[in-house]
Amino acid sequence: MASAREDADLTARLAREHGVCDEAVRAVFQDLRRGGGTMAHFSHADFGGTSQWSSGMTMVGDMFNDSLEAKLNAIAGELSRHLRAPPQERADDRAVSYRSGATRHAGSWWLQELGDPSSDGSQNDLRFAVFPLKRPRSSKTTTYDTGDQQISGVSQARSTDSTPTLASQHGVVRVSSLAQANKL
């Protein structure tokens, strides 16, 4: 694991190279840590307010500002590589907005029969968990059949209905286009 000094040096260098304040880079860094180095959802004025990043998806508060998105993508990409380079043990952090990989089932809201998800998280009033090898029969939550989709990410669309979308090997898929598993 990198030292606090190495993290501070990296933060200062990225802020200087990309023309943002150190605090903006720290905001991204802190949220990437909570997201296991793979995803961040944070708010900072240097990125136009509320922003999100995961590999292949960058959204900044200043919509349609491509140069700001490119700046966040460069900073978050380098921080992600830095965080993921050494092996890490992840503590159980209930504040995380997204988790990928092995997560513990204890205290989870999904059916125990589903086991452990490949990823889970929450945003606003939406909670999600992805079970790539399971086809649930029914539950009190809305469960969707993703078929052969290999889900690699979840985001909330910028639309009036805030429809969640999934990233898969076939591209972006709107959750509303999937069949509900309990109605199959």
User: pLDDT band at residue 101, thresholds of 50, 70 and 90?
Assistant: very low
**CB atoms near residue 118 (< 10 Å):** 17
- pLDDT for position 100: 42
Identify the weakest region by mean pLDDT among 27-41, 146-160, 168-182. Answer: 146-160
- For the chain, the average pLDDT equals 76
Phi-psi region of 94 (alpha: psi -120 to 50; beta: other; left: phi over 0): alpha
User: How far apart (Å, rounded) are the C-alpha atoms in residues 91 and 26?
Assistant: 20
- Yes or no: say if 55 and 80 are a contact pair by the CB < 8 Å rule: yes
- Cα-based torsion angle of the residue sequence 59, 63, 66, 69 in order, rounded to the nearest 10 degrees: -30
Choose the most confident range, by mean pLDDT, from 47-51, 89-93, 143-147, 167-171.
Answer: 47-51
The alpha carbon of residue 150 and the mean position of all alpha carbons in its chain are separated, in whole angstroms, by 16
H helices of the chain, in order, are 4-18, 22-34, 66-84
Alpha carbon distances (Å) from 162 to 47, 88, 125, 129, 177: 21, 34, 10, 18, 14
Q: What angle do CA 103, 99, 92 make, to 5 degrees?
A: 55
Reported confidence tier of residue 184, pLDDT bands at 50, 70, 90: very low
What average pLDDT does the segment 42-59 reach?
A: 91
- Residue of 10, 13, 74 whose CA lies nearest to 47: 74
